[in-house]
Structure 1
């Protein structure tokens, strides 16, 4: 399976509770935190919901 690197570039402060929980589910808790994850349909759906807060790179 393909891997992607996601980096949080904007704060989750003043966002909806759903978006905050999505960031936590992706494993991102702080600004500029990065995580390498498998590009499953579930992960890609979560990334799509908060893509305005993230930077996504292919590995």
Structure 2
């Protein structure tokens, strides 16, 4: 129950970091399946999320 509360209070940077981790998993799955073009697209998305995760809240 408290985990949901923590998720509700997560900063945009933390959410972006978690999303980047999830996308990394998808990149690995795509590569294993031989879907290199999708893997490349996901890598671009992961880079944007990682950039957002390391930002100090400025857009």
* Higher Cα radius of gyration: 2
| TM-score (normalizing by structure 1) | 0.30
More helix by share: 2
| TM-score (normalizing by structure 2) | 0.30
More strand by share: 1
RCO higher in structure (CA 8 A, sep ≥6): 1
